[in-house]
Structure 1
Amino acid sequence: MAKLRIGVIGAGSIAQHRHLPEYATNQLAEIVAVCDINQERAAEVAEKYGAKAYTDYQELLKSGEVDAVSVCTPNYLHAPISIAALEAGLHVLCEKPMATSKAEAESMIAAAEKNGKKLMIAHNQRFVPSHQKARQLIASGDLGKIYSFRTAFGHGGPEGWSVEGKEGWFFQKEKAFVGAMGDLGVHKTDLIRYLLGEEITEVGAFVQTSAKDFATVDDNAVCVLKTESGIIGTLAASWAYNGREDNSTIIYGEKGTLRLEDDPNYSLVALYSTGEVVNYQLGKIQSNDEGGQKNSHVIEKFVDCVINNEAPPVSGEEGMKSLSVILAALESNESKRITEV
């Protein structure tokens, strides 16, 4: 069977640490092109994977050499590049947040539909074993009625691992559009929607820049979220958690509590009101720290959905619903009011 020919657009950290190594180990994919506006970086990364280097993504899209692309660029380019790729008849895996506005997200979805191509958004938290198990337990009624949750994603900031450090696009509003809330908060928004199996309808948020004086985007955000059935909870996203990354989620239900990625030894701990405690060893979550899960499963799921002509596990519509919560949080912070999603 012919391998899926892949082009990776944007050769920064996420491409180098996640997309490229995972495509390289995937038996069904072949990396044929790498594109980056930094010519030296494009050439160096392309050489490592035996691929052709490009500095102009339009040229790559027109080459006829690729079947699908990963869009790993600064956030403001996600929509234009994804739409151009879909229009060129290519399948697209786009990094999160998928776009900088609802209108952009809708245009991406429309382009995928019009051209009959797959559009998948790289929300990898759905594929973490503890998160999948928790979703099953919640859906099965194991916890009874869900009352509340708290979820957090925080670390010391992207300057520690981004290829450009403090000079990077992550910290520039015109390129990133949003900071920690878009980088980390959108992951947790997507996770809560996935775990609870329902939509978030209202958001109250404080979104600020307090730790990175060189940044023009937020580095600390705390939100209160309410779902369609009335479950309320908090979400924190931060680039100011120095010392140790926090990627934990806690779900509070009528019959007990689930602690996800919170215990150093067990990725999921279920504490029941009967006193019973169930510890699940399901492999650690993927993180920038050593010892985390090496494969995010995003690449594997994307390649599989294209080859088997199946619906992407995280569709453009799903990406847009998670983005909408982030947009509502930004609006709530500006207006100082609870905002409907």
Structure 2
Amino acid sequence: MKKLKIGIIGCGSIAKHRHMPEYHASSGAVIAAVCDINEERANVFAGLYGAEVYTDYRELLANKDIDAVSVCTPNYLHAPISAAALNAGKHVLCEKPMATSMEEAKDMIEAASKNGKKLMIAHNQRFVPSHKKAKELIAEGEAGKIYSFRTVFGHGGPEGWSADGKESWFFKKNQAFIGAMGDLGVHKTDLLRYLLGEEFTEVGAFVETSAKIDADVDDTAVCVLKTESGVIGTLAASWSYVSKEDNSTIIYGEKAILRLEDDPVHSLIVQYANDDTVKYELGGIQTNEEGGQKNSGVIDHFLESILNEQEPAIPGSEGMKSLQVILAALEASETKQIVRIN
């Protein structure tokens, strides 16, 4: 079987802990090139995986042998590099948030369509076993009509995880564009859209910087969301949770409450209206605390979509809808108004 030749653009922590080990573990791919403006950092991974080294992504994209790339750069570069890669005839797996505006997201989607290449956004929460099971149960009507939800993604901040620690681009608005809401909140808007099977139409939000004094991006945000059928709930995204990471979601329905990643042992607990409780041990969610060594499923799915010539589960259009909710939350926080999403 032909192995796809992969280029990794950006050699920070997400590339180091997720993308590279998962490509390396796959039977369908080989890491052929790595690129980072920090040549020393790129050289380390080139040595590890036997890859070519680049410090300019345009030179990597000019390499005709590269079939696909992972874009693992600071947020402001996601769209321009992804569009350039698609226009160079490469398939693209782009980290989240996919872009910093709807215009950028549309440019990426257009480039994928025009060049007949796959564009996938790395929203890994859709691949978590408890989330997949919960979606199944909701779709089967196990919870009945869904009334509300609360979801949260919070930890102590990227300084413990990012390759550059406290100096990380995550804290700089000109590179990150958005803080905890873009880093963590967009994962949850994507997860909720996936679980509920419908779009959000209205958003209210408080998006603040309270914990990271030197940061010029948000670190603590709470949003109120409403779907097209009237399901309402809250989403919290934070870099100010100083103890264990919280990555839980609770869905409240007419027949049952579903608790996802809310219990250390049982990754899904279903509490029925008749007092029956079903506990599922499906394996925990991937966290930054364990170095992210558990397979996220993202890379495998991306490679399968290329090799089987299928649309990925999270194409650019899905990434854009999840981004749109985050952009609406920023607007809601700034204007102190409820923002409607078209």
| TM-score normalized by the length of structure 1 | 0.99
- Pairing of 1:79-98 with structure 2 (within 5 A): 79-98=79-98
SS at match of 1:201: strand
1:84 alignment partner, SS class: helix
The answer to whether the Cα contact below 8 Å between 1:180 and 1:239 also exists between their aligned partners in 2 is yes
CA positional deviation for 1:293: 6.9
Partner residue, 1:40: 40
Q: Following the alignment from structure 2 to structure 1, what is the Cα–Cα distance between the partners of residues 69 and 43?
A: 18
Higher mean alpha-carbon deviation, 288-297 vs 168-177, is at 288-297
2:191 paired residue number: 191
- Amino acid across the alignment from 2:68: A
Match for residue 258 of structure 1? 258
> Which residue number corresponds to residue 203 of structure 2?
203
Kept in 1: contact 2:18–2:293 (CA 8 A): no
Within the alignment, does 1:78 sit opposite 2:113 as a pair? no
Structure 2 residue aligned with 1:8: 8
Cα distance between partner residues in 1 of 2:77 and 2:289: 28
Q: Distance in 2 between matches of 1:289 and 1:257?
A: 28
Asked if 1 retains the 8 angstrom alpha-carbon contact of 2:17 and 2:292, the reply is no
Distance 2:289 2:166 in 1: 19
Q: Percent identity?
A: 70
Q: Which amino acid aligns with 2:255?
A: K
- Structure 1 gaps, min length 5: none
Distance 1:293 1:146 in 2: 34
Q: CA offsets per residue over residues 125-171 of structure 1, 9 Å max, x none? A: 00000000000110111111000000000000000010001111000
Deviations 1:61-97 (A, max 9, x none): 0011210000000000000000000000000000000
Partner of 1:320: 320
2:117 match: secondary structure: coil
1:161 match: 161
Q: 1:94 to 1:204 in 2, by over 3 A?
A: same
The question of whether the paired residues in 2 share the 8 Å contact of 1:146 and 1:252 is answered with yes
Local SS of the residue matching 1:270: strand
Equivalent residue for 1:30?
A: 30
Deviations 1:97-136 (A, max 9, x none): 0000000000000000000000000000000000000001
- Work out whether 1:304 is the aligned partner of 2:313: no
Once the two structures are TM-superposed, the CA of residue 232 in structure 1 deviates from its matched residue by 0.2
SS of the residue 2:22 aligns to: helix
CA distance in 2, matches of 1:96, 1:291: 19
In structure 2, the CA distance between the partners of 1:293 and 1:279, relative to structure 1 (3 Å rule), is: farther
Deviations 1:12-58 (A, max 9, x none): 00000000000000000000000000010011111111101100000
Structure 2 runs not aligned, ≥5 long: none
Distance apart, 1:211 and its partner CA: 0.1
> 1:289 Cα shift?
2.1
Displaced runs of 4 or more, over 6 A: none
Shift of 1:218: 0.2
- Letter of the 2:2 partner, please give it: A
In structure 2, what is the equivalent of residue 230 of structure 1? 230
Q: In the aligned structure 2, how far is the partner of 1:206 from the partner of 1:175?
A: 22
Give the superposition deviation at 1:172: 0.2
Partner residue, 2:19: 19
- In the superposition, relative to structure 1, how do residues 73 and 269 fare at CA in structure 2: closer, same or farther (>3 Å)? same
Query: What amino acid sits opposite 1:240 in the alignment?
Result: S
The amino acid across from 1:109 in the alignment is I
CA distance in 2, matches of 1:214, 1:10: 24
Q: Report the 3-state secondary structure (helix = DSSP H, G, I; strand = E; otherwise coil) of the residue aligned with 2:313.
A: coil
Which position in structure 2 is the counterpart of 1:144? 144
C-alpha displacement at 1:214, in angstroms?
A: 1.2
d(CA) in 2 for partners of 1:308 and 1:238? 38
Q: Could you tell me whether the CA contact under 8 Å between 2:155 and 2:246 is conserved in 1? A: yes
User: How many residues are treated as equivalent by the alignment?
Assistant: 341
**Per-residue deviation at 1:290?**
2.8
Q: Report the secondary structure of 1:20's partner residue.
A: helix
Output the CA distance in 1 between the equivalents of 2:197 and 2:226.
Answer: 13
- 2: CA distance between counterparts of 1:99 and 1:305? 22
Q: Distance in 1 between matches of 2:79 and 2:289?
A: 30
Correspondence for 2:52: 52
Shift of 1:334: 0.4
The alpha-carbon deviation at position 251 of structure 1 amounts to 0.1
Q: Deviations over 1:297-328 (max 9, x none)?
A: 00000000001100011010000000000000
For 1:21 and 1:291, how far apart are their aligned partners in 2?
11
Q: Give 1:291 shift.
A: 9.2
**Whole-Å Cα distance in 1 between the matches of residues 290 and 238 of structure 2?**
20
